Amino acid sequence: MHWKDIRRDSDAGLRLGILGNPIEHSLSPIMHNAALRALGIHGSYEAFAVEESEFQSCVYHLRDCGFMGLNVTIPHKELAAKISYADHDVVKILGVANTLMLTYPIRARNTDVEGFYAPLKNMQPGRALVLGAGGAAKAVVYALLSHGWQVSLYNRTREKAKNFVRFFNADIEILENPDPRNCNLVVNATPLGLHDEMPEILWENIGGDTCVYDLAYRKEPTELLKFAASKGLRIIDGREMLVEQGALSLEWWIGVRAQRDVMRKAVGLEV
Ligand code: NDP
């Protein structure tokens, strides 16, 4: 349904949703609706495609209609932080938010940073190569630096990589040719995986104990993850991050522990 057609509905129960553009590929509605059912909560989680120019009106409209919380995805995460009160240090520092609580004023959190790092928490910090310098890469690099990783970065547009490194004011090497040699971790923070494409890096230099993490997710592993698995490398599917950031958002909205097993199953991950 178009967000402008949403009306207040006293029978709707708990109303949650996600705003993005494009949004069709999102697995968040399937995942969150399964989580609500498992908790016995009457309500729903809906996806809305929203133009940037209408983002703020959309958030206010959904709040007027009784929505309690929203996730925010590409390309609205900076705007989400701008129109809200930062309820979380990460939002203040990075200026990006993926979760809104539709109170007065609207409050914003960022669960991407913690969600991204959750599958890595048992790994010893080492050297990481990050591909991409967009909003997701910001959460990735912030998480890695906070946990003591040494980061190198490759981005298609070099100027953007330079601005990115300036923002962090940290010792991040910008690479001309993305080379995974001596890296413990390669993180793909580009959307290439959504289009059956793989980032072009010097795969022949990758070590056998390198872990490959693709943020882009589909209902099945991306080409990059299939390739890495065929080389015997450890892989982390972007759906792992999806589940953790979603569980953290839900827990903030409703104050009850989310059932991660149910959410994993809903997006096709092993339980
Ligand atoms: P942005 O648009 O902010 O950034 C995209 C980045 O990818 C830019 O650095 C861009 O480079 C690069 N890029 C885009 N297209 C190409 C291409 N064809 N070849 C090489 N580089 C390219 O997007 P986000 O950072 O918000 O998201 C990136 C991906 O991460 C998306 O697929 C998103 O769905 C996924 N994601 C997954 C999450 C999860 O929970 N698993 C959470 C958040 C994001 P340039 O600067 O040159 O344009």
> Which residue's CA is the closest to the ligand 1 atom numbered 20?
156
Question: In this structure, are residues 225 and 235 in contact, taking their beta carbons and an 8 Å threshold?
Answer: yes
Choose the catalytic residue: 4, 77, 121, 219: 77
Residue 195: the pLDDT is 83
Task: Confirm whether 226 is a catalytic residue.
Answer: no
Residue 194 confidence (pLDDT): 83
Cα–Cα distance for residue pair 217/237, rounded to 1 Å: 7
Please, which pLDDT band fits residue 193 given cuts at 50, 70 and 90? confident
Residue nearest to atom 35 of ligand 1 (CA): 216
Determine if residue 132 is left, alpha or beta; phi over 0 gives left, psi from -120 to 50 gives alpha, anything else beta.
left
What is the distance in A from the centroid of ligand 1 to the CA of 191? 4
**Token digits for 197?**
């494409």
**Per-residue confidence band for 189, with pLDDT thresholds at 50, 70 and 90:** very high
Q: Is the pLDDT of residue 41 over 90?
A: yes
CB distance 198 to ligand 1 below 6 Å: no
Report the alpha-carbon angle 16-101-49, nearest 5.
50
Query: Which atom from ligand 1 is nearest to the alpha carbon of 133?
Result: 9
| pLDDT tens string 172-181 | 999 999 999 9
Task: Supply 113's token pair.
Answer: 């940073």
Q: Can you tell me the distance from the alpha carbon of 170 to that of 173, in angstroms, rounded to the nearest whole number?
A: 9
Rounded mean pLDDT of 165-169? 94
Task: Give the pLDDT confidence score for residue 66 in this predicted structure.
Answer: 98
Residues 6+ apart with CB under 8 A from 46: 1, 15, 16, 17, 18, 29
Instruction: Give the span between the Cα atoms of 211 and 180, in whole angstroms.
Output: 10
DSSP labels for 46-96?
Answer: EEEE--GGGHHHHHHHHHHTT--EEEE-TT-HHHHHHTSEE-SHHHHHH--
Q: Quick check: CB of 69 below 6 Å from ligand 1?
A: no
pLDDT at 3 exceeding the cut of 90: yes
Once rounded to an integer, what is the mean pLDDT over residues 124-130?
97
